[in-house]
Amino acid sequence: MDTFECIRKRRDIRSYLKKDVPDDVIRKIIEAGRLAPSAMNLQPWQFIVIKNKETLKELGEFCMSGRFVVQAPFAVVVVTDPVNKWHEIDGARAVQNMALAAWNEGIGCCWIGAIEKVKEKLNIPRNLHVLTILPFGYPEEFTVKRKKVRKSPDEVFHWEKFGMKQSK
């Protein structure tokens, strides 16, 4: 898929078909995360792939704003190391790489922000930070067709100086 088309069409997906994602595709998605750029190239991230249905079910209990993780064929827990103030930004760039690589394969995901108690369950060292859990799966069709709501160009684009419109 053309890169811009992938960016334009990608949606956050919270309902998934009951269809497994092949391991080579999962591998490609996390590889896209691994290849992301990071401050000073420190790569302060770890990616935990969860396919086990029981674990996904338990994660659902920890994800207050993302119970839908239980339906996903797999999820990736993104863990960052607070080595510096950029670790969450670096992690977010890895997430976007994975989201776009997944979309290119016909797979959607959604950032889950509110997570509790997951460190103990997954043996994540205490000093590390759980940035997000990303459930991945083939989207239910209606989720792709939702209208994409974004601020208009006029609300967010400035030319040369803040508040200046583009001259015709």
Ligand X SMILES: Cc1cc2nc3c(=O)[nH]c(=O)nc-3n(C[C@H](O)[C@H](O)[C@H](O)COP(=O)(O)O)c2cc1C
Residues that bind ligand X (CB under 6 A): 11-12, 14, 65-66, 110-114, 148
> Which is nearer to ligand X, 33 or 66 (by Cβ)?
66
* Alpha carbons 106 and 99: distance in angstroms, whole number: 10
> Which is nearer to ligand X, 27 or 113 (by Cβ)?
113
> Which is nearer to ligand X, 12 or 23 (by Cβ)?
12
In the complex, the smallest distance separating the C-beta of residue 63 from ligand X, rounded to whole angstroms, is 7
Torsion of CA 50, 55, 56, 61, to 10 degrees: -140
The dihedrals phi and psi of 53, each to the nearest 5 degrees, come to -65, -40
In the complex, the smallest distance separating the C-beta of residue 73 from ligand X, rounded to whole angstroms, is 18
> Which is nearer to ligand X, 74 or 103 (by Cβ)?
103
> Which is nearer to ligand X, 30 or 109 (by Cβ)?
109
DSSP string, 97-157: HHHHHHHHTT-EE--B--B-SHHHHHT--TTSEEEEEEEEEPBPHHHHHSPP----HHHH-
In the complex, the smallest distance separating the C-beta of residue 24 from ligand X, rounded to whole angstroms, is 26
In the complex, the smallest distance separating the C-beta of residue 68 from ligand X, rounded to whole angstroms, is 7
Put residue 87 in one of left, alpha, beta given phi > 0 → left and psi -120 to 50 → alpha.
Answer: alpha
Residue 65 is classified by DSSP as T
In the complex, the smallest distance separating the C-beta of residue 59 from ligand X, rounded to whole angstroms, is 13
